[in-house]
A and B are shown apart, each in its own frame.
Chain A
Amino acid sequence: MPIADLDVSPVVNLLRFATIGSVDDGKSTVIGRLLVDTRQLFDDQFDAVVEASRNRGVGDVDLSFVTDGLRAEREQGITIDVAYRYAATPRRKFVIADCPGHVQYTANMATGASTADLALVVVDATSGVKEQTRRHLCIAALLGVRQLIVCANKMDRVGWSEKAFDNVVAEMEQLSATLGIESLTVIPISALYGDNVVEASSAAPFYDGPTVLEALEAAPTGGWAGTHGDDVTRAARLPVQWILRHPGGGRSYAGMVDGAPLRVGEDVTVLPQGLRSTVSAIETPAGPAEEALVGLSVSVSLSDDLDVSRGDLIVGSGDLPTVTSEFTATVCWFTPTPLRANTRYRIKHTTRSTPAMIASVDARLDVNDLNLVPVDELLINEIGVVTITTASPLAVDIYAHNRITGSFVLIDEATNVTVAAGMVGPPLLLNGE
């Protein structure tokens, strides 16, 4: 069977989305409204939101309290860290990452967006798209998000003006084009009153598109493969996590399959060593199988007795990753100390950790005009291009081709704190240009 014909993405009717938007544009309120109007909230949870709203003197029901659950968040009326919520309608399941909008919490926003299939963007129609929204959209696009549902929120405050809505549409269309967004839906809503979130509203006669819920239910799922089409890697990648020893001898290699399914009898290469063998058996959580589908944690046995350890990558037949100890990467810098050349970190790439050196800081990405500006350091929350060298070689794919083998984090060896998120290759936005 030709590899191109294989269906690599499991059909799971599950959409993961992250919220994006500036402080006070109403992200958490939109999510609160969505959960309340689809009856995802238990009665006691709703009662607790009502009580907390009254106690804090913010009116009868502050829907943002549905997800802003931390004491400090409620005191300040802001979102500090990602809240994960789970919802199910008769049509599909949702994993919602309600992300903070403040620039100082960019790392938390990136945490939420790194696993999203889609971004739900909230724009205040009274003021238009703010710089902070552009920044977070840029990060989401770099992380690979290709679908946007945009809520033009607070339409009640502009008297449901068609012009105000059209302004948001125009701004978002222009932005989407530069960010390589493939699917854009803009919806006029009032999260406060519930118009067009779950219930269709007659307040905007000029709009005949879907509600927010309908758009979320209609969006394509399937994560990376679903939204990155032809570019994705076409052979299995299995980063080895753990070696399982079998009674009576023999070993198998445990890890999660990505890229494409792996089959018994398939020729594989173990990187970075470049050793060749054949899959002799596959064990899935449901028992032995002929095939390991993408997203499953499996263990595989090989027909040859090879030296394979944690951090190695088992690759199926087809395109191989690049084995290298020097590469260009796009990084998002999360820490107050600037990132400069000739500094040392630990890199975690798939299941392999090794010392890494920043050989050079090459450029900073201007989030407003998306130009690369030559610089020699990156400040906190900036995005840039760097050259990294590693102590032991890594088997990497360009991030656009594979989210697992194309991503890494940098760790401060003294504090063990994660200081950067990295993507192999130049910024994803610029690839198509």
Chain B
Amino acid sequence: MTATTTAAERIDHLDLLESHAIFIIREVAAECERPVLLFSGGKDSAVLLHLAVKAFAPSKLPFPIMHVDTGHNFDEVIAFRDSVIESLGERLIVAKVQDSIDAGRVVDPGPDGMRNRLQTVTLLDAITENRFDAAFGGARRDEDKARAKERVLSFRNSFGEWDPRRQRPELWQLYQGKVSGGEHLRCFPLSDWTELDIWQYIEREGIELPSIYYAHTRDVIQRDGMLLSLSDWVKPRPGEVSKNETVRFRTVGDATCTGAVLSGADTIDQIIVETASSRISERGATRADDRFSETAMEDRKREGYF
């Protein structure tokens, strides 16, 4: 066994981020009655799940895993989700936006409409139905200016709303997770991680990801300044021409609003170099849903978005 440390060895930046995240996960699991871990199959939730498994090894997770499924998925991501959950032998709850549409809770935006914002209703309904009082998410503060303002344990009232003007004080590492009936917390153990930290950690730990994070060829169209992958929900509109390009995804979300980036990076090392030298932010390069207004993320978060 070579994992034994000696006094001469040092802890690095990733070790501290890792331990801090594990500390938060254990603290919430201990203080809350019914936590759930939100898992989208993206890189951040893959890291989050990896950390949760470490936090409770050799035991099983003391909470279930939930995927909020917009129905507009990349096949590779669903295949990855199912194989990860199966190999861990953990519980997966799938909350489907389609069910919310069928139940008349939200209006179907149409065959090529974006379902990203609809997820909020599905998520909040699932939280209420399962009486979850805490939901772990993989959000990071470096993603967006509203997220940069959010606490690690972020309080949601009984309507699921975030009030950025009335956040709980959160001093030292005293994470305080008590809520009353109907309220819940969103817990962000990766708050202090950057996109680069995530990739360096994925490399160090050998964490598996959906193949679409690595360079591959794919038919895409240019729309709203983004490269969207052709699929059942994204078809060329008049005037749009599809092209076969070598691309990869920097983020994974609803397939109708998650763009690919032109990239030949097909190994982690190449992705790390690409990430370190990128001049465009992760969400700026890939997310149409943040482009509607100056405070799109804040507005969605106030309603109860991730």
Are A and B part of the same complex? yes
Q: How far is the CA of A291 from the CA of B23 in the complex (A)?
A: 18
Which residues from 159 to 175 on chain B have a C-beta closer than 8 Å to any C-beta of chain A?
164-165, 167-174
A413's closest neighbor in chain B, by CB? B178
> Are B178 and A416 in contact, CB atoms less than 8 angstroms apart?
yes
Tell whether B223 is near chain A: CB-to-CB under 8 Å. Answer: no
**Of A177-185, A227-235, A237-245, A390-398, which binds chain B?**
A237-245
Contacts of A290 in B (CB 8 A): 4-6
Known: A83-B145, A242-B30. A108 touches B169 (CB 8 A): yes
Q: Does B1 make an interface contact (CB < 8 A)?
A: yes
Please determine whether A244 and B56 come into contact, CB atoms closer than 8 angstroms. yes
Q: Is the CB of B169 within 8 A of A69?
A: no
Q: Which of B11, B165, B280 is close to A42, meaning CB atoms less than 8 Å apart?
A: B280
A309 to nearest B CB, angstroms? 10
Residues from chain B with Cβ under 8 Å of A297 in the complex: 18-20, 22-23, 26, 55
Residues of A within 8 A of B6 (CB): 290-291
Complex: A373 Cα to B304 Cα, angstroms = 45
A366 at interface, CB cutoff 8 A: no
| Residue in contact with A84 in the complex, picked from B4, B26, B164, B192, CB distance below 8 Å | B192
The reply to whether A241 and B23 contact each other, CB–CB distance below 8 Å, is: yes
B171 close to A110 (CB less than 8 A): yes
A48 and B149 contact, Cβ closer than 8 Å, known pairs A12-B11, A291-B5: no
B149 touches A287 (CB 8 A): no
Name the distance in Å between A33's Cβ and chain B's nearest Cβ.
17
Interface residues of A in 111-142 (CB under 8 A from B): 111, 114-115
Residues of B close to A95: CB separation below 8 A:
192
Give the complex CA separation of A374 and B11 in angstroms: 46
Does B141 make an interface contact (CB < 8 A)? yes
Q: How far is the CB of A323 from chain B (nearest CB, A)?
A: 20
> In the complex, which residues of chain B have a beta carbon less than 8 angstroms from the beta carbon of A191?
none
| Residue B284 interfacial (CB < 8 Å) | yes
Contacts of B54 in A (CB 8 A): 285
Minimal Cβ-Cβ distance residue in A for B51: A285
Q: How far, in Å, is A73 (CB) from chain B's closest CB?
A: 9
Instruction: Specify the main secondary structure of chain B where it touches its partner.
Output: loop
Among the listed B5, B30, B164, which residue makes an inter-chain contact with A289, where contact means beta carbons less than 8 Å apart? B5
**A351 close to B27 (CB less than 8 A):** yes
Interface residue? B294 (CB, 8 A) = yes
Q: Which of A3-11, A160-168, A207-215, A356-364 lines the interface with chain B? A: A3-11
CA distance A293 to B9 in the complex (A): 10
Interface-forming stretch among A150-158, A266-274, A300-308, A401-409? Answer: A401-409
Q: Does A367 contact B (CB under 8 A)?
A: no
Whether A254 contacts B164 by the Cβ 8 Å rule is no
How far does the alpha carbon of A408 sit from the alpha carbon of B49 in the complex, in Å? 30
User: B174, A409: Cβ atoms under 8 Å?
Assistant: yes
Known: A12-B10, A70-B146, A286-B3. A256 touches B173 (CB 8 A): yes
**Is A81 a contact partner of B164 (Cβ separation < 8 A)?**
yes
B211 located at the interface, meaning its Cβ lies under 8 Å from any Cβ of chain A in the complex: no
Q: Which residues of A contact B207 (CB under 8 A)?
A: none
Contact A71 B295 (CB under 8 A): yes
Q: Check: A80 CB closer than 8 A to any chain B CB.
A: yes
> Is there a chain B Cβ closer than 8 Å to A421's Cβ?
yes
Say whether, besides A42-B278, A48-B294, A285-B22, A334 and B148 are in contact (CB < 8 Å). Answer: no
> B176 touching A288 by the CB < 8 A rule?
no
B237 at the interface (CB under 8 A from A): no
Do B169 and A111 touch across chains, with their CB atoms under 8 A apart? yes
B58 CB to nearest chain A CB (Å): 6
Complex-state Cα separation, A343 to B270, whole angstroms: 59
Residues of A within 8 A of B29 (CB): 242
Chain A residues near B7: list those with CB within 8 A: 6-7, 261, 291
Q: Is A23 an interface residue (CB 8 A)?
A: no
Q: A70-B149, A290-B4 are in contact. Are A407 and B26 (CB under 8 A)?
A: no
CA of A295 to CA of B179, assembled, Å: 28
Q: Which 8 A-B pairs have the closest CB atoms?
A: A69-B145, A287-B3, A44-B284, A10-B11, A42-B281, A114-B171, A297-B22, A297-B19
Identify the A interface with B (CB < 8 A). Answer: 6-7, 10-14, 42-45, 48, 51-52, 55, 67, 69-72, 74, 80-86, 93, 95, 107-108, 110-111, 114-115, 241-242, 244-247, 254-256, 261, 284-291, 293, 295-297, 310, 334, 346, 348, 351, 403-404, 407-409, 411, 415-418, 421
Q: What are 22 A-B contacts with C-beta separation under 8 Å? A: A6-B7, A12-B12, A71-B294, A83-B148, A84-B192, A107-B169, A108-B167, A111-B170, A111-B171, A241-B23, A244-B56, A285-B19, A285-B54, A289-B5, A295-B19, A297-B55, A348-B174, A407-B174, A409-B176, A411-B176, A416-B180, A418-B168
